Structure 1
Amino acid sequence: MSRSPIVIKVGGALLDDAPAMTRLFLSIKEVQKSRHVVVVHGGGPLVETLMASLGLSSTKIDGLRVTPDEHMPYICGALAGSANKQLCAAALATGLTPVGLSLLDGNMVVCEPLADKYGAVGAPATADATFLKSILAQSVLPVISSIGSSVQGRLLNINADQAATVIAELLDAELLLLSNVDGVLDANKALIPALDAHAITQHANNGVITDGMKVKVDAALQSAQTLARAVYIASWTADIADILNKNTGTQILPNEIAPV
């Protein structure tokens, strides 16, 4: 397979939508005939439910959840355990061969703590692609949770968008950020096909891109700049080929790439 791989990031909310999971994995199965695919996932809702049931609370600083080290066993259990295995089971049910992994497996990604105030929250960097490439060569579907580790062995919670970006960087892959929205909408609720940094700033100033979508678009822009290629924001119910053919979703463009 000479074409570049595809990294697909999904949020934890997908776990609550069984039909969407099935549709996504069937679409991946079709794409796998010609290209390697990797799934990277978060699991925020699942983590929040678990923490609440344990009576554990956490705060956010600058939009990032503070993660005390003593919470990491539960967060690892939720993300690398429950969320990962639910996705793998759904993939298996559609005839795929999933392999559940975390960022630290095979020394794919090395992470370092972001800052003391965030606790066990890390920033990821590419390390060694050998293991992941050898897995992909066996026509399996890696399903990677956003749990990482420092070189000293400290487990770290990684933002799932950043986790997906670093895996895309590791493989020089195309990145699709999929959620329960069709893409970025304009003031008339029409889909915007492509955005660059200037247009994002303009729409944000006009109150068109706000709140959660602003966070998503900013993350996508950062990913696009890192990867030096367009990043796609689209729905996980859309066909992957349709997204890549620009029939749906929004392309977030790095500064040096003009929309096509």
Structure 2
Amino acid sequence: MPADPATPASERASPPSLDRAARALRGSWPALDERRLAGWLLGFSEGFTRRANSVWMLDAVEDLQSSVGAVEEAYRVRGLPSRFLTTDSSDVDEVAALRAFGYVTSLSGGILARSLGPTDGRGQPLPAAHPSAFVSVSGPQLPSDWLDAWLAWNGRRLPSDRRLAPRILSQGTPSFLSVSVDGSLAATARLSVVDGLGVVDCLVTDRASRGRGYARLLLERAQHEALALGASSCLAMVVDGNDASLRLFERLGYRRLGAFRYLEGPDRTSCC
């Protein structure tokens, strides 16, 4: 199906570079504890989500072997796997070295972007089959019902999930979007604007409410909010295999800037 973005391409800004997009993605989901190691930024968040517990390769390091060793030790003492988030803009020699050290891809996907224009955000009408449905936007305080729904739909039921999620999701000045039907949440999304780029994540629809266009409504509303907050483009990360999500973004004019990959190191713990 062809894309049907609301604003003609000629009226939209140019898409961001992959490197700039990666930095915005990091800033939208910061770790609770961060440590700089030359050009690398190590994130620690007690294991809650990959993005908040990975090394972002922002710039090069001089001594690669000793730097990898320092990374592995930093994560080992915290009981976490050593994991790097790489993109197509990461230093190819550093990525090749990680592969040589035994790092393998544990998750991959695409970084998508859509430039915004003056008419973005003119949302579609809500489905007639659900006249009581409506879209709401709140923030930066995280609504408790939004958190409850997002955790449940993602299968996150540990006490630590409920403790850590608000600390990560509420950082910065995020907007929390939702679709409610008959008083109950049916879909959620989150928007952060970092360095003039809107980052959309946490886009989830309750299984019983899928196929009714709620995710599209939230994405269109997120674009409208991002534009109002000064963003020139919107970004998203879509994991490989999530074809439904990819089709949604492509229908709204999102294009792939490049790939992301989580590279996870081997367990080097001695047996004795």
Instruction: Look at both structures and tell me which one has the larger radius of gyration over its CA atoms.
Output: 2
The TM-score normalised by the length of structure 1 is 0.27
Structure with greater proportional helix content: 1
Structure with greater proportional strand content: 2
The TM-score normalised by the length of structure 2 is 0.26
Q: Which structure has more RCO (C-alpha within 8 Å, separation ≥ 6)?
A: 2
